[in-house]
Structure 1
Amino acid sequence: MTPWEPRARMRRRSKGAIMKSETLTVRQIFQDRRQYCVPFYQRAYVWTQRNQWTGLWQDIQEKANARVSGMNITPHFLGAVVLEPQVKHGLMGVDTLHIIDGQQRLTTLQYILASLLLALRETGMQAFELSVIACMQNTNEETMRNPQMERFKLWPTFRDRPHFEKSLAIQQLEDFRKEFSAHFTQHGTLRKHYDHPPSLAALWFFTAEFSEWIRSGVDQELSYAEALIMAVLQDLKLVSISLEAEDDAQVIFETLNGRGAELHATDLIRNYIFMRADHDGVDAGALYNSQWLPFESDYWSTKQRRGRINKPRLEWLIHSTLQAEMGSEIDLSRLYNEYRRYAAASPLPKTAGRQLLTLNQYAGHYRDLISMSGLSPVARLGRRIAAYDVTTLHPLTLLISVAEVGDAEKTQMFNDLVSYIVRRAICGLTPKNYNNVFLSALRHLTKSGISSEELRSYLGTLKGDASRWPENSEFRNACICAPLYPGRLDAAKMRSLLTELEGALRLSVKSEESGLPDLTNLDIDHIMPRSWHTNWPLNDGSSAANIDEADIEIILRSGGSLTPKAAIDSRTARYRSNLGQPDATEFEREPVSATLRLSVEAGQADCQHESSSQHPIDSETEVERARNCSARRIVCRCGSESLAKGRMTPTYLAPFRSSTSRSE
């Protein structure tokens, strides 16, 4: 008993359906005038020599050897196929059955029969051709509606049709070299490392094996050829399950989908959607071409890793879409079941057209978000949060992005989310609760309406270190005293921070190069050299070598002490001079950094110049002065304090805003 049989019986008993089940040989499967159609929405043929063909050939060879040796023959079962007979109107045309499950097996059997025919011709055993052709081609083309299609016993999905028809039309093995010339070497052998059409690879493999085995029967080639044909047509068997009108084809497909090559959740979802399309009575083919076909591209099948989980990009899209639409946590390991729950949700099940419109709507925004290209609000957000790897934000982001609100409103909401994420990172607060925070925010917006006021109000109510939005005083203190880099921020996050600061500075001086620059090719450097205190005397001429290392580290790793690598200020020049080093060369300064406002900031003034009557430095030691200077560069020049004067700043440095007025 094969593994599928108990499950199938339980399903029949639980559903009360009656299915016609019978065990058939390959000859019985294909001998009648009928065509097995692979529904266009099913996946393409995926079996390979390494994973399936070699093992199947060994099974066939075992049966053929048994026949040559005169041994008792026991059948070899290939598993089950589930078929759904289609209604035939009138006398024209062949009988048609949709393959609900088992298309890989039936397609492979057609490749085996075509290879067997070629092997017979290669070995001069044409006397047996008709027995094989009868299982490959339907007859009486005069009564076919579409002879070009209906003459085939099996009609594959449209992605496989071109190479399927081309390969099965080959009359001699050498014709492959002409029809598929790019796939062969100059010596006429099939290229080893090449993306061959499955039909070409399958027929080339099986024909070579069949021909070699027939020739191994020296002076008995005819007997060997007959044994091989009988092994295929008579000794290979399948269980054919034909559905009745009341049977649920989708349920049967799901029950048996675990065999053969692994199905992704998206394969099941696609199958579910288009079975729904058949139920809705719409043109499923047109719907597929217009709404689903883009999801078959390499872009959506490419795998993306999140932590330890590596899934096709399409699965991540559907996962985020379901969370945005349902406002609940979605179990990725049960994505298909979760999707069915979404599609069948009350008050009325969603039509196939509606499901596909929703997926396509979210797909465009999701692509902008993760590709970080374009000028849409969600694309700009993607660029700004890329360094923080907060994929738990995706569902909320998509909900906002697809909402019918203006771009200015979306931008404001995205600004607040960036402020929330970056402030928490700089203040050393954990991101571990982000999944709950953003999902709760999503539910809040779904219930109350999607607006920047509602989002800001929600973020303002969050309490506790696990979720709160830091206020200005805490944020300012972190900028001044916290060890940012290395420390709370890695290189990517620190570069993102400097990028935002550079953009704000450009806006503040109305630079021709406004907007966020690309600093990805610049390293992060410390304005104050890491070993400055051993070579750089204080203003009074005394040595700084004995200053507390902890204080030095605070200065070096605080935000104001960091800049893109090529920014060389007067303090660095003085440090070089004390070490007897020459000034920086033009090459070292790097032309790209010369245009950065951060570089100008670093080179225009030292700490003494930056202290002013508006921002007096009360500290008495050089260390304290350096600390204040360092912090003022990020806080006073580009930070929250300067907002009182109405200067442009990065949004995540903006004052904490909420529905409730707060004093600091």
Structure 2
Amino acid sequence: LLYKADEDRHLSQETFFEQYLDAFDDPWWRQLIGHGVQRPRVDVFVDYWLEAQTGTSVAVRRVFREFQHYVDPRDDRLKEIMEQLLDDARYFRESETVESGASGREALFHERRLAMGARAVWPLLLKLRHLDVDTDDREACFEALESYLVRRLIAGYQARSYDQVALELIEALSEQALTPEGPSKAIRTHLLAYSENANLWPNDAATIQAVSQRHLALYARRLVLTALERHLITSQAGNQSVPAGLHVEHLLPQGWGPQEWPLPSGIDPAQAQEERTQALATLGNLTLLNAPLNSSVSNRAWTVKREKIQESDNLFLNRRLLKEYGDRWTEDDIEQRGRWMGDMIVKIWPRE
């Protein structure tokens, strides 16, 4: 870039660096990121940026050459290209460092995207940023994409294809392909057309079933439980602010003992043990607390544990729990609560 600036008699390398490149001379941009072979964050960003401009995949080893190729035919537009690059870089950094609880639908999308580690959709986000679209439709784009990502997370599908999905959606958003209904319709239609597990957008039934049966990773549990709390706050109190630093708690404890938590009677003990093990880490047995319970309380019987939660907790997620499950907490109750959660989840992240 400095070489090209030097070719332009209207630019000096020093001025060009100060205006466009100095912002990237920062530890945050130089930090190595990614799984496996790590790269400086600035390299990753330029990779995403090029894919957003060209709509084609850029191999890691060819990022520099592809950037040269993209700029070469447009030497007279070097300033314009760099101004867009710098502006997109600011947006990228703001979105990658969004604070928990930030206001706005787009900020909420990025907060949840970061929790999922879904960077591969960035080319699509950079493309979407420059579309001439009203606020409602723009937010609908984020809602559709978030639903797709979260439902696949809950259902246990891999994220390996998201880079290709992003490029296909960029093509769907091209001027030739964009329908009068707007980009959100184009995104939703394209995602709904997937039928293979590699790209499938899980339907309501599959999502609800996964909520009741699957064991999610800790980050996924926290993401979904926090979204449930936010949904309940919004619907019951109108306030969308969820307290920070909440603790994920197993209601039927992982360290349960037969005295405090006897297995159900009337069925084979081995089967009862298997069913309990399956139920323990499902969402129906998980909740959020303002602070972790003392370990001596966490493994106690439900009546003791319920009393301690009631004394110290004011979260909406637990109000129904404390009201409806006064003297028991069993595998059947876990399944019932899981279905209740599943019904809310498909409303928070609708598919159609």
Match 2:205 to one of 459, 473, 485: 473
Partner of 1:271: 2
TM-score by length of 2: 0.84
**Which stretch shows the higher mean deviation, 499-508 or 281-290?**
281-290
Q: Deviations over 1:311-332 (max 9, x none)?
A: 3322222111101001111122
2-structure distance, mates of 1:590, 1:290: 57
| 1:51-450 correspondence to structure 2 within 5 Å | 270-278=1-9, 281-282=10-11, 285-300=14-29, 302-345=30-73, 348-349=74-75, 351-373=77-99, 375=103, 377-446=105-174, 447-449=176-178
CA contact (8 A) 2:124 2:166 kept: yes
CA contact (8 A) 2:172 2:190 kept: yes
Partner of 2:260: 535
2-structure distance, mates of 1:392, 1:341: 23
CA contact (8 A) 2:287 2:318 kept: yes
Q: What amino acid maps onto 2:235 in structure 1?
A: S
Indicate how the Cα distance of structure 1 residues 632 and 550 shifts in structure 2: closer, same or farther if over 3 A, else same: same
Indicate how the Cα distance of structure 1 residues 273 and 316 shifts in structure 2: closer, same or farther if over 3 A, else same: farther
> What is the RMSD computed on CA atoms of the aligned residues?
3.5
Match 1:595 to one of 314, 335, 340: 314
Partner of 1:631: 338
2-structure distance, mates of 1:368, 1:296: 17
Match 2:280 to one of 538, 541, 556: 556
Indicate how the Cα distance of structure 1 residues 582 and 336 shifts in structure 2: closer, same or farther if over 3 A, else same: closer
Partner of 1:483: 214
- Match of 1:464, SS? coil
Higher relative contact order (CA 8 A, sep 6+): 2
CA contact (8 A) 1:566 1:589 kept: no
Offset at residue 599 of structure 1 (A)? 2.5
1-structure distance, mates of 2:95, 2:12: 32
1-structure distance, mates of 2:276, 2:138: 42
CA radius of gyration, larger in: 1
Question: What runs of 5+ residues in structure 1 fail to find an aligned partner?
Answer: 1-269, 611-621, 641-648, 658-664
Q: What amino acid maps onto 2:23 in structure 1?
A: P
Partner of 2:228: 501
TM-score by length of 1: 0.47
CA contact (8 A) 1:567 1:603 kept: no
Identity among equivalent positions (%) equals: 19
Match 1:451 to one of 175, 179, 183: 183
Q: Which has the higher helix share?
A: 2
Q: Which has the higher strand share?
A: 1
Q: Deviations over 1:99-127 (max 9, x none)?
A: xxxxxxxxxxxxxxxxxxxxxxxxxxxxx
Indicate how the Cα distance of structure 1 residues 547 and 311 shifts in structure 2: closer, same or farther if over 3 A, else same: closer
- Match of 1:564, SS? strand
CA contact (8 A) 1:378 1:397 kept: no
CA contact (8 A) 2:5 2:11 kept: no
Q: Deviations over 1:521-558 (max 9, x none)?
A: 3332112233366534589x879955432321232222
- Match of 1:448, SS? coil
2-structure distance, mates of 1:441, 1:499: 29
1-structure distance, mates of 2:311, 2:72: 60
Q: Deviations over 1:413-432 (max 9, x none)?
A: 11111111111121122212
Q: What amino acid maps onto 1:564 in structure 2?
A: L
Q: How many residues align?
A: 343
CA contact (8 A) 2:247 2:291 kept: no
Partner of 2:323: 604
2-structure distance, mates of 1:291, 1:425: 38
